[in-house]
Structure 1
């Protein structure tokens, strides 16, 4: 779509970035699948185990690398077998996701009159990790003696009440609250407004965690809403793409937006703010808060999330190779042409292999928080250029651009483009610069090495409109002396094979290029148009090749006339357009004008 709207350079650059984003999205979904499997479904499957709490993160990353590679291999095999099997799996995965969403809404309703038991231990207004103690109290009674609890031992030098303790522990009380008081608790008023802090603010003896700021959360959350182009990626598999893609895309955006927004509001109405802000789940022993809220069982959420990430990973591995195959078949990137081939039924075999290899890079990174901002940049760049393409086509009033959406206006596209560009730099300015650098390098490569394509794109239409506007402005009056440039009309002669007889004329013309003026290289063929049209085309090609060899930038023109003198007269009178008229004629000096048998040469030259 972008190639046909903005040109092959923009289309190839943005298309490859979108392909990389879709591929890294597959890696992110696979990592999410493995995290759910090892953290919630079957933790004993972990191959690498940490000796202490400090090594748990590294062990988890290694486990995700190993199992992620295995899952990627299985998913790539399913996609290789055929897209029909992916579609069959998709129905099962979609059913699990719908059941999970319904379970959340059922749990919210149930919490209004029967909230689940979900105790949270607080010291002051800070949550405490449940590792190392079971009772949320400072002291316990053992026999007839009051001694410190296991929580006391974590902050004090001994269990005795006269032990030296941490100052914050001494000054604040320990309380236990219900993390999910329910929809009828009135929490919505307390959680309605944000409580973000700036970098450097101290929260009761502890600096603000620099990994939890708004822009990073946007970068991590944004991939969850990047599936709106899934229908376009698989347009070749749809029976009626013109009808299915707009309807399906709008319905998908409306449905998912309603689910996301309502989930945020309902979570704020049911769950304590300190629990929602506990991003690592330490206060709840790593349990799923949403799973505890859901009804009838937390396993509905666990299984639904597992199949949801599996399905999304399969869809990414299905769409990304087809996207690469489409770019390769366009032929705009020479070194990618091999990926345009596939099986007899058109399945992109080689593109799938490359996609799996790139996806493996994301899996080896293993951290969801590191992979998510990368694909956010690529998706935002794609959406930005989609909006730009729509705006350009509308402003140029292209005849074949007829939006079917009744309320469309080009300002909406411009607003969407501006928001995408702003979000790129707000989320991560260095990732945004890297993504733009990659797109820029691909753009220049296609510009210099890519195949020439004429798709009637908007950039060429914009150039045409700009040229028309400039020519009309030049008609307002003669150019000022400061703006005078030598506008050359170079008259050359061609032989019987339509080759230029005196190529030195173009060599001399190339020495005058510092004038930055117009150059028109023209020639005349004697005869009639019907008989000599093929010769005129060959002559134009010959002159154009010579201009490229001599690095002369300009235009070539070949006219057919009954005699040489009239043809040259027509060229001198009519060459150029509007204000871009030649003011200098460059011709070859006649060599044999003194010879009687060639008495017309000097007359043509002087006349």
Structure 2
């Protein structure tokens, strides 16, 4: 099967644990866990917080099952979700999703770095620095690391994972002598509702994008993506549920709403929480700064956007032009918004992408495309529910923004249609006609 997508790296280097599970976990257990989970519990109450966590993780799990099904039906190369969608529904639809997907990943870099700077404001000598200057400096440092290569970035992730585990153990080891009855009901402040809280929380579960975006660097993508993705979703969902319960039984709602450092006050060793915040937010930013350029490289190699964006600038493995462009986007966002402004934007972008992944899996399964033969098969109801959950959540969070997102997606689609982009692979559209012909006979 001929392809125009980049093969990613000169040699596939990473297995399931290093290439999918660990990057996903480090991204999912990030800034939302340390700085916003307590706020979620304070606003929504324990029952509402658990509902938000379970709903978000259900959407993530359904999407993970869908992308695992798609990934095991083809030879997966670089580009992550863009690659899966474009090879299933064609370049026009793939591009209409790939461009917003890239932007959401690039914006995520800024999101995590802004969170890091917010957390570090508690450190006396860092708190005196201009937050945007500090955030820009961190962003440029990470762009430099990504420019050098993914090998170095993924090597340091195991040290970051150890710090994260130590921080979580400190959190759950603290407060055993002061367990109170949790506040179950919501205590929403002005302008806040269930769906506003959901929109702030949802970026926490978008970390599965990192592993799939490194597909071109995996030794066996069709094996690693399903195993690593589903395992990371389940493990981190348990962590978030336990964290919500621990917050609810150790602080009253207003304390959780107003005090973003509540986790440190509960922890047995507070300084470990600060280390965990730094490690998790920076690792999440690093994961995004690795994922975004690879998505852009795949989109560019397919000529959806200008080819110069896929220029590796002398590197045999790294999409350096895309890394520099990602850095520019991240720095622009750092100077334009704060954490609670950026989070809902990322949520809408990712829900749109996840909805499309589920639609692809549902359509492939429903039409009986003869070229769609996944080794990891799921019932058509799974992706159908996933798509319904994604688009339903988008409308409930912000209906006008949802309409705008759909209009932008279709606008990109029709622009790409006019360019008459052609791929050398078969997609689901040919499968539909084949299925109709078989039915007619």
Q: Same fold (TM over 0.5)?
A: yes
Is 1:415 aligned to residue 406 of structure 2?
Answer: no
Q: Distance in 2 between matches of 1:438 and 1:353?
A: 25
Taking structure 1 as the reference length, what is the TM-score of the superposition? 0.56
2:107 to 6, 11, 24: 24
Partner of 1:294: 267
Task: Give the SS at the match of 1:321.
Answer: helix
Partner of 2:166: 99
Q: Structure 1 residues 369 and 209 mapped into 2: Cα distance closer, same or farther (>3 Å)?
A: same
Q: Distance in 1 between matches of 2:393 and 2:125?
A: 37
Q: Distance in 2 between matches of 1:431 and 1:363?
A: 21
2:230 to 250, 265, 274: 250
Partner of 1:329: 301
Q: CA deviation at 1:399?
A: 2.5
Taking structure 2 as the reference length, what is the TM-score of the superposition? 0.77
Partner of 1:216: 196
Is 1:320 aligned to residue 286 of structure 2?
Answer: no
Is 1:239 aligned to residue 219 of structure 2?
Answer: yes
Contact 2:208 2:233 survives alignment (8 Å): yes
Partner of 2:58: none
1:382 to 353, 357, 368: 353
Partner of 2:97: 14
Q: CA deviation at 1:396?
A: 1.7
Q: CA deviation at 1:438?
A: 2.1
CA deviation string 1:476-505 (max 9, x = no partner): xxxxxxxxxxxxxxxxxxxxxxxxxxxxxx
Q: CA deviation at 1:244?
A: 1.3
Q: Distance in 2 between matches of 1:344 and 1:74?
A: 19
Contact 1:395 1:410 survives alignment (8 Å): yes
Q: Distance in 2 between matches of 1:37 and 1:275?
A: 20
Alignment of 1:335-374 (within 5 A): 335-342=305-312, 343-374=314-345
Partner of 1:280: 258
Is 1:459 aligned to residue 429 of structure 2?
Answer: yes
CA deviation string 1:58-78 (max 9, x = no partner): xxxxx3222111111111011
Q: Structure 1 residues 44 and 363 mapped into 2: Cα distance closer, same or farther (>3 Å)?
A: closer
Partner of 1:195: 186
Task: Give the SS at the match of 1:270.
Answer: coil
Task: Give the SS at the match of 2:421.
Answer: coil
Contact 1:29 1:313 survives alignment (8 Å): yes
Contact 1:7 1:460 survives alignment (8 Å): no
Task: Give the SS at the match of 2:369.
Answer: coil
Alignment of 1:494-533 (within 5 A): none
Is 1:226 aligned to residue 293 of structure 2?
Answer: no
Q: Distance in 2 between matches of 1:44 and 1:391?
A: 49
Q: Distance in 2 between matches of 1:220 and 1:437?
A: 23
Q: CA deviation at 1:98?
A: 1.1
Task: Give the SS at the match of 1:444.
Answer: helix
Contact 2:160 2:280 survives alignment (8 Å): yes
Q: CA deviation at 1:461?
A: 2.8
Alignment of 1:125-136 (within 5 A): none
Contact 2:368 2:431 survives alignment (8 Å): no
Contact 1:13 1:443 survives alignment (8 Å): yes
Partner of 1:487: none
Q: Distance in 2 between matches of 1:444 and 1:272?
A: 51
Q: Please state which structure has a larger fraction of its residues in strand.
A: 1
Q: CA deviation at 1:459?
A: 3.0
Partner of 1:76: 143
Task: Give the SS at the match of 2:156.
Answer: helix
Q: Distance in 2 between matches of 1:289 and 1:351?
A: 38
Contact 1:384 1:420 survives alignment (8 Å): yes
Q: CA deviation at 1:42?
A: 3.0
Q: Distance in 1 between matches of 2:432 and 2:345?
A: 32
1:86 to 115, 138, 153: 153
Task: Give the SS at the match of 1:426.
Answer: helix
Q: Structure 1 residues 319 and 466 mapped into 2: Cα distance closer, same or farther (>3 Å)?
A: same
Q: Distance in 2 between matches of 1:432 and 1:299?
A: 41
Query: Aligned residue pairs: how many?
Result: 357
Q: CA deviation at 1:249?
A: 0.6
Contact 1:25 1:375 survives alignment (8 Å): yes
Task: Give the SS at the match of 2:234.
Answer: helix
Partner of 1:112: 176
Contact 1:18 1:382 survives alignment (8 Å): yes
Q: Distance in 2 between matches of 1:250 and 1:461?
A: 28
Q: 5+ unaligned residues in a row in structure 2: which ranges?
A: 1-83
**Higher Rg of the two aligned structures:** 1
Is 1:434 aligned to residue 404 of structure 2?
Answer: yes
Q: Distance in 2 between matches of 1:45 and 1:369?
A: 20
Q: Distance in 2 between matches of 1:454 and 1:392?
A: 21
Q: Distance in 2 between matches of 1:255 and 1:325?
A: 31
Task: Give the SS at the match of 1:195.
Answer: coil
Q: Structure 1 residues 432 and 361 mapped into 2: Cα distance closer, same or farther (>3 Å)?
A: farther
CA deviation string 1:353-409 (max 9, x = no partner): 111111122111231111111111111111111111111111121223223336x20
Contact 1:196 1:213 survives alignment (8 Å): no
Q: Structure 1 residues 242 and 465 mapped into 2: Cα distance closer, same or farther (>3 Å)?
A: closer
